[in-house]
Amino acid sequence: MYKALEEKIKNRTALVGIIGMGYVGLPLAVELGRENFKVIGIDVLKDKVDLVNSGRSDIDDVKDQDLQPLVKAGKIKATVDFSALEEVDCIAICVPTPLSKTKDPDVSYILAAVEQVQKYLHPGQLVILESTTYPGTTEELILPMLEKTELKVGKDFFLAFSPERVDPGNRSYNTKNTPRVVGGTTPQCTRIAKLFYEQTIIEAIPVSSTKSAEMVKLLENTFRSVNIGLVNEVALMCDRLKIDVWEIIDAANTKPFGFMRFYPGPGLGGHCIPIDPHYLSWKLKSLNYYARFIELAGDINSHMPEYVVERVNRALNEKQKSLNRSKILVLGVAYKKDIKDLRESPALDVIRLLQNAGAQVSYNDPHASSVRMDDSVMKSVELTEALLKSADCVVILTDHTAYDYDWIVKNSQLLMDTRNATKNVKEDNKKIVRL
């Protein structure tokens, strides 16, 4: 079985099934298609399937002009029918792994996908989980389900974990040129999964087990979460000390060793950094260990939207204005610059807090035309000189490069900059308040 699958992968005749056509699955499908693999994308959302089959993308990192030729050439097709798994040789599971309201891992999407894989599992298949999850998921949850088929792992079928490393909007690193970590349930599982990724990705790095591969991803994002938490707390300290946190960070960054620059902001967003560390924290609680760094960083980062609103309120008070009934214009609601991704965006929390305080809030985002706020939908307003001048305070929450910050500052009464986006504004203007 191993030799046969190895040959199919090497000569590109292996049919690949990808479960989940989102931010992880679709870019992977495109890279495989470019390398002459045929891909069947499976998604439970018919609208998503229809979109892919029409050659259109709703993902920032996949352009229509990249997807359309592959769809037309028959390299990529999508379906809602999981029976397509019966034909495929390699399966990549790329489904969401959110947290519950109590910050417990929700692996229901993974389990639902594996139930379908179990139905159609056949000798010679490679199954890879890419969804971020807690250490032990692959061997404790997925392997027992697949072994119920009486097929032997490492002999009849192959199972591995390889965490996605997608960074939406990153202009330097993408699916193809970002190395992959691969851990299999047996040495042969690791080797065949490594071979699979080596066909499309710059490098595949093997580790000793699926649990190790799962831990690698959590370390990566916990590292970022903790360091962002640290610099956010430094921002709070600098506010009390009445010094400029941005100046402090840039000066510290001149040291050529022993310092890595992170910047503060209005909170954490995206599917990974605000969520993944809590998977590790949850797992360790079951082993009677309290992950103190993770919990502390999470607490600091989650309260940054409140701090932003408090700073806006303070700035308005200095102008003899109240936050209640003030007109607040928010610039940027995506969780990071130059993308439309709203997942876990701290901007949404800031808007809610402003509204709860009685402010009249509108927003502009060149990448996000609308956003759902609980039971209502807000639409992006046109950014005009009149709109800027009418706002009691303009709040920059996402530093999109499309914005003309000199023009924005010139026409604003008061501006709260949470991203240091106005650092190069030539005009030395006292109406700018920075985080």
Active site (catalytic) residues: 272
Sheet holding 327-331, edge to edge: 360-364, 327-331, 393-396, 415-417, 432-434
Contact 92, 58 (CB under 8 A): no
Task: Report the alpha-carbon distance of residue 434 to residue 416 in Å, rounded.
Answer: 6
DSSP 282: H
Using an 8 Å Cβ cutoff, are 268 and 303 in contact?
no
For residue 376, give the H/E element and its range.
Answer: strand 376-379
Question: Residue type for 58, please?
Answer: D
Orientation angle between helical segments 64-72 and 25-34, nearest 10 degrees: 60
DSSP 381: P
| Number of other residues whose CB lies within 10 A of the CB of residue 374 | 8
The residue whose two tokens read 């001149």 is: 254
Contacts of 10 (CB under 8 A, 6+ apart): 195, 199
| Chain position carrying tokens 């190069």 | 424
The whole-angstrom separation of Cα 142 and Cα 214 is: 13
C-alpha 22/C-alpha 94 separation (Å) is 8
Q: Distance (Å, rounded) from C-alpha 400 to C-alpha 181? A: 31
Name the DSSP letter for residue 344.
T
DSSP 330: E
SS (H, E, C) 116-163: HHHHHCCCCCEEEECCCCCCCHHHHHHHHHHHCCCCCECCCEEEEECC
Identify whether the C-beta of residue 309 lies closer than 8 Å to the C-beta of residue 357: yes
How far, in Å, are 133, 175, 218, 346 from residue 212 at the CA level? Answer: 12, 21, 10, 31
Contact 51, 45 (CB under 8 A): no
